[in-house]
Amino acid sequence: MANITKKVSWSSRADESGATGEGTPLLNGSGQPRYCRQLSGGSIFQVGRLSTVDLEEEISAEEDSLRGRLKEIPHNEKLLSLKFESLDYDNIENQLFLEEERRMSYMGFRCLEISRWVVCGLIGFLTGLIACFIDIVVEELAGIKYRVVKENIEKFTEVGGLSISLILWVVLNSIFVMVGAIIVACFEPIAAGSGIPQIKCYLNGVKIPRVVRLKTLVVKVAGVICSVVGGLAVGKEGPMIHSGAVVAAGVSQGRSTSLKKDFKMFEYFRRDTEKRDFVSAGAAAGVSAAFGAPVGGVLFSLEEGASFWNQMLTWRIFFASMISTFTLNFFLSIYHKNAGDLSNPGLINFGRFESDKRNSISDSVPVFNILCAGGLLGALFNKLNYWLTIFRISYVHRPGLQVMEAMLVAAVTATVSFTMIYFSDDCQPLGPDHTEEYPLQLFCADGEYNSMATTFFNTPERSVRSLFHNQPGTYNPLTLGLFTVTYFFLACWTYGLTVSAGVFIPSLLIGAAWGRLFGILLASITIWTDSGKYALIGAAAQLGGIVRMTLSLTVIMVEATGNVTYGLPIMLVLMTAKIVGDYFVEGLYDIHIKLQSVPFLHWDAPATSHWLTAREVMSSPVTCLNRIEKVGTIVDILSNTSTNHNGFPVVIQGADGDEPSKLCGLILRSQLIVLLKHKVFVELARSRLTLRKLQLKDFRDAYPRFPPIQSIHVSQDERECMMDLTEFMNATPYTVPQSAGTQTPGGGGRTGDQEGLGQISPGQTRTGGASAGPDIVHTHTHTHTHTLFTNPIIQDYDGF
């Protein structure tokens, strides 16, 4: 891999201009000046790397940020985005594969199918367990922390000297956050953030390094516990999705490369095609465990990942989701000492929303105001976070600095919270059946508690629930207003820190606060009083404005509230938030994906790029191999950085020079590397007849960490040998005529070819491209059907 992991900055400007139809962005190596200019011109996105995506190879961060500042975009487009490879979402239907299939009996396929179900069940179970573990540990540690601080505050409230309490609080928070930041920054930077952008990319078909490794999972789980207990404005829901995905990737392979343990199970699943399916099940199980929303989980996986719909796969995903939420529910009930209650389907529970007699539709006018606010505030949040991330990429890239920043945020969060509580004079009577876990009396009269403290001095999940369900009059408008403003900026500052943390709960909390505020204000002019409902709508609007999901988020919210009648208002709110927000800036995840320079394929190609043809986006001339090729040539092609494709068409040369060569197959870089490693040369096969034939197993064992070409030693003698690729190449790759357009076929298949233009570099030959959708050009070779060209038989479609 190292040979193509050279870090470069690149501009994603190209696809933007494609979207707006300013010009046709071409990457086919024709190198016309206007494209070079376009690629290098005036982009604000040329940041080389985000701290969360790092590579094995070391490159000094200075160099990187320098390049970013100097806008030194490489003018050779061949070097664009060499950082990421794509997953091979196409079965390599070579002779070995077909033979294996042929040998398999009907029962064999049945067993495979059953083991898929078993794996999905396991994924659900383990994801549920992890969620349960996180929840319990957070609960216990946060409980200890809040009790200690509360006692301290109570002690010093009367005697004075609350600054000692503040210091205690700040120190406790900082310690937790420091631990969390250190493990993330030093051990596994990819575990930072919620992990949702990374999983989105993975499901989209981009191989993000180390995203589904065991180490990532461990760091993620420990990190999220630390950051939540550390009192940051974060949630533990987002990371569950990443955790589920890692569990899925691990379980489905039947081995752990990190632990050097091979259980000799599920060997059939050791390829990207199968692994992706399980990862989508894992992500769904994660959502399901986080929100108690199994259907929402399935829809999340489909919305984010799946390009096409397979009934059986979807059932398996649903099965994993169901198992996940029920595992969590079951163990949490035991933990809460009422086994069998099953009232904790997710990490966050919105509590029961009862249907009311009022007509939801009659509220449409006030609700509409919230919708816009959700979109606007979401866009503001995203924009601020975007600038902050740019700043972080430029200046906060050393682990030390990152840890410092995290600790600073923790300290500021604690201080601000304390100050807000301290200066708040919003005292509420403490009812006999109060739900507040840690009611702070502070300067309130006896039997009363500080209302501001219920929102700040609590885990965010509890605060959300309080805002949804506390009786009218629990909060006064000033408290809510102040809380909204401070928490908004704190959450915005927090997201993107080098800690494991999700943005779902902070978003919900902000939205719930201003939603409730809005409800209270509305109640003062109308008879409407159920501000809890407005809190829910506000939460949905804010979350929708930030993450811009609609269908899956609607279902998640509905499942979390447990009341189907809220479906229509929530859906309307989320759609409006998306429309309004998209007008200003992209969703938070998309921003971070873009900042990481991931060649992400969106659902639709830009509308006005429909007449762009394959010819215009492919790279030429094409790097081809012969069916029987010299080892030296192969090694040179693989080593050459200007031809660092991941797949190569295999051709048969015409009899004379004039006659065009004929496509006969496609072979991947990874396959060639395995072949070189095992020295499958024609000459050696002749001399060592006893040598066992290379089998599919050899490819599977090497999967997924194929060595780079540099690590394979090929002697000078061996360079003269020949390799016969016939048996290993995929003889029936997908092809398109070069005049094929980018029309969305079949009623809107996820074409996305054009989107890939400025994003997927020529270095990245996306074979398969399940992410790239059902109908698009999967591979990179096609047989020519046009007579106007002299030698156009094979074309390499690197744009995809």
Residues in region 318-347 near its own copies by CB under 8 A: 318-319, 322, 326, 330, 339-343, 345
* Residue 44: burial class (beta carbons within 10 Å; 0-12, 13-18, 19+): exposed
* Residue 420: burial class (beta carbons within 10 Å; 0-12, 13-18, 19+): buried
Name the β-bridge partners of 649.
Answer: 666
| 480 vs 377: CA distance, rounded Å | 16
Query: For residue 621, is the peptide bond before it cis, meaning its omega torsion is within 30 degrees of 0?
Result: yes
Task: From residue 424, give the alpha-carbon distance in Å to each of 173, 446, 569.
Answer: 22, 16, 34
Instruction: Out of 302, 480, 598, 757, name the contact with its own copies by CB under 8 A.
Output: 302
- CB nearer to its own copies: pick between 419 and 785: 785
362-381 residues near its own copies, rule: CB under 8 A? 362
- Kindly indicate which of the ranges 4-12, 222-230, 242-250, 745-753 contains the residues binding its own copies, using the contact rule CB under 8 A: 745-753
Alpha carbons within 13 angstroms on the beta-carbon side of residue 411 total 11
Is 604 near its own copies (CB under 8 A)? yes
Site pattern 625..654 for its own copies (x: CB under 8 A): ---------------------------x--
Is 582 near its own copies (CB under 8 A)? no
- Give buried/exposed letters for 69-105 (b at 16+ CB in 10 A, else e): eeeebbeebbbbbbbbbbbbbbebbbebbeeeeeeee
Question: What is the SS3 assignment for 123-178?
Answer: HHHHHHHHHHHHHHHHHHHHHHHHHHHHHHHHHHHHHCCHHHHHHHHHHHHHHHHH
Is 567 near its own copies (CB under 8 A)? yes
State the nearest-atom distance from the C-beta of 25 to its own copies, in Å: 16
Instruction: Out of 263, 308, 387, 789, name the contact with its own copies by CB under 8 A.
Output: 308
- CB nearer to its own copies: pick between 445 and 607: 607
707-726 residues near its own copies, rule: CB under 8 A? none
- CB nearer to its own copies: pick between 232 and 793: 793
Which of 231, 237, 592 is closest to 407 using CA atoms? 231
Is 775 near its own copies (CB under 8 A)? yes
- CB nearer to its own copies: pick between 525 and 788: 788
Is 200 near its own copies (CB under 8 A)? no
- The dihedral built from the CA positions of residue 506, 507, 512 and 513, taken in this order, carries a sign that is positive
Helix (H, G, I), strand (E, B) or coil at 428: strand
- CB nearer to its own copies: pick between 280 and 474: 280
- CB nearer to its own copies: pick between 308 and 368: 308
| 711 vs 324: CA distance, rounded Å | 42
Instruction: Out of 640, 711, 739, 791, name the contact with its own copies by CB under 8 A.
Output: 739
- Kindly indicate which of the ranges 91-99, 255-263, 685-693, 703-711 contains the residues binding its own copies, using the contact rule CB under 8 A: 91-99
Instruction: Out of 412, 568, 635, 722, name the contact with its own copies by CB under 8 A.
Output: 568
Instruction: Out of 251, 664, 673, 674, name the contact with its own copies by CB under 8 A.
Output: 664
Instruction: Out of 37, 69, 610, 697, name the contact with its own copies by CB under 8 A.
Output: 610
Instruction: Out of 294, 519, 544, 763, name the contact with its own copies by CB under 8 A.
Output: 294
What is the crossing angle of helices 531-547 and 364-395, to 10°?
40
Instruction: Out of 160, 432, 657, 747, name the contact with its own copies by CB under 8 A.
Output: 747
- CB nearer to its own copies: pick between 435 and 783: 783
What is the crossing angle of helices 214-229 and 106-159, to 10°?
20
Contact status, residue 284 vs residue 296, Cβ threshold 8 Å: no
- CB nearer to its own copies: pick between 397 and 578: 578
Is 310 near its own copies (CB under 8 A)? yes
Instruction: Out of 68, 763, 773, 799, name the contact with its own copies by CB under 8 A.
Output: 773
Largest pairwise CA distance in the chain: 99
Is 307 near its own copies (CB under 8 A)? yes
100-119 residues near its own copies, rule: CB under 8 A? 101-102, 104-106, 109-110
* Residue 433: burial class (beta carbons within 10 Å; 0-12, 13-18, 19+): exposed
State the nearest-atom distance from the C-beta of 352 to its own copies, in Å: 9
Contact status, residue 291 vs residue 237, Cβ threshold 8 Å: yes
- CB nearer to its own copies: pick between 307 and 754: 307
Instruction: Out of 33, 260, 309, 526, name the contact with its own copies by CB under 8 A.
Output: 309
Is 605 near its own copies (CB under 8 A)? no
Collect all residues with Cβ–Cβ distance below 8 Å to 15 and sequence separation of at least 6: 25, 606, 754, 755, 756, 757, 758, 759
Instruction: Out of 157, 258, 273, 529, name the contact with its own copies by CB under 8 A.
Output: 273
Helix (H, G, I), strand (E, B) or coil at 747: coil
Instruction: Report how many residues bind its own copies under the rule CB under 8 A.
Output: 106
- The dihedral built from the CA positions of residue 221, 172, 151 and 228, taken in this order, carries a sign that is negative
State the nearest-atom distance from the C-beta of 388 to its own copies, in Å: 28
Enter the tokens of residue 595: 């900042």
Site pattern 239..268 for its own copies (x: CB under 8 A): ------------------------------
* Residue 112: burial class (beta carbons within 10 Å; 0-12, 13-18, 19+): middle
Helix (H, G, I), strand (E, B) or coil at 651: strand
124-163 residues near its own copies, rule: CB under 8 A? none
Site pattern 533..552 for its own copies (x: CB under 8 A): -----------------xx-
Enter the tokens of residue 431: 């009812």
- CB nearer to its own copies: pick between 439 and 665: 665
